[in-house]
Amino acid sequence: MAITGRLQELSALFARFTEQDRDRPLDFGGVRLYRRDTQTLPQHYECGPGFSLVIQGAKRLTAGTERFDYAAGQYLLTSLHLPVVTQVTTASPEAPHFCLFIPIDTEAMGELLARIGTPPGLDADGMRSVAVNPATPDLLDAATRLVRLADRPQDIPALAPLFRQEILYHLLTGPDGPRLLHLALSAGHHAGRIPRAMAWMRTHFAEALRVEMLAEHVGMSVSSLHHHFKAVTAMTPIQFQKQLRLHEARRLMLMENLDAGTAALRVGYQSPSQFSRDYSRLYGAPPARDVERVRQAAA
């Protein structure tokens, strides 16, 4: 079956399994079917390692200074936890946006690597943690078999892990193999130290960042940390910390009803005016106005 035929079958399955503008979890390991019937506003959140295959329509993701557009038959792979902005750019009631999301299971990847060994020629050093590539027929076949399980819940325990591992195998042996190795590299490798640095920053984002201390923590020089961090994330450590702070401040205002000044202090800002400037630059409006806009959109 040609790729077009595979996408048509998947679109028919999505149309049957999803409701208008609703997501559907498939109850096996975080797999989700996304559906949007209109274009969306940019959404800010922190993504984790995962595989997002567009079945119909188109989507955009911005990470740091880079923008990734992907449409039907293409997938986006993320190999690290990153603050990002996403937006559905092509969708209509007649042709909704459909997207399959599968989180990358690091334990399953470790088991797969133990059986097949590390594919030759893979080097993750300096590679971006986000990439867009066309899906192969084999990848689409495995994705189709996985989605079909929504009709056969009795088969999920036996077959879902196999189909997910088949998808992981095709990703690991394809152009994204080096990116997936970010999740399995030894701590002594540069590409393995950057995730360690990012993990430390996610738990200490409200503290003043001393890049020298961070570099020492992961066993790198300051210049090497800057070089490899930006190569992987398209952000400097300072920019990454700023986005973590602003995302958490927005969550505090929306979910815990904190005012902007209190949220700013909670995430580590000393200057309310600097917080307002940074927030407006990222979200397109001052904190109070942005929060009100989000609440009205959700009402």
Q: Tell whether 139 and 10 lie within a shared domain.
A: yes
Which of 203, 218, 235 corresponds to the end of one domain? 235
Domain residues for 170?
3-183
Q: Tell whether 202 and 292 lie within a shared domain.
A: no
Q: Tell whether 65 and 17 lie within a shared domain.
A: yes
Q: Tell whether 63 and 108 lie within a shared domain.
A: yes
Cα(217)–Cα(227) distance, integer angstroms: 16
Q: Tell whether 271 and 208 lie within a shared domain.
A: no
- According to the model, what pLDDT value does residue 76 have? 95
CATH of the domain at 246: 1.10.10.60
Number of domains in the chain: 3
Which of 218, 235, 252 corresponds to the end of one domain? 235
Q: Tell whether 207 and 246 lie within a shared domain.
A: no
Q: Tell whether 50 and 148 lie within a shared domain.
A: yes
**Average pLDDT of adjacent 10-residue blocks, the chain of 299 residues:** 87 94 86 95 86 96 90 92 91 97 83 72 63 94 94 90 92 82 52 79 91 90 88 87 93 93 95 94 92 80
Under a CB-based contact definition with an 8 Å cutoff, are residues 119 and 175 in contact?
no
Q: What is the DSSP string of 145-174?
A: HHHHGGG-GGGHHHHHHHHHHHHHHHHHTT
Q: What is the pLDDT of residues 145-195, one digit of tens each?
A: 999 999 998 998 899 999 999 999 999 888 888 777 765 554 344 556 887
Q: Tell whether 216 and 290 lie within a shared domain.
A: no
- According to the model, what pLDDT value does residue 159 have? 93
- According to the model, what pLDDT value does residue 189 have? 47
Under a CB-based contact definition with an 8 Å cutoff, are residues 20 and 37 in contact?
yes
Element (H, E) at 77: strand 74-78
Q: Tell whether 260 and 158 lie within a shared domain.
A: no
Q: Tell whether 205 and 63 lie within a shared domain.
A: no
- According to the model, what pLDDT value does residue 120 have? 62
Q: Tell whether 23 and 121 lie within a shared domain.
A: yes
Q: Tell whether 79 and 204 lie within a shared domain.
A: no
Which of 165, 183, 201 corresponds to the end of one domain? 183
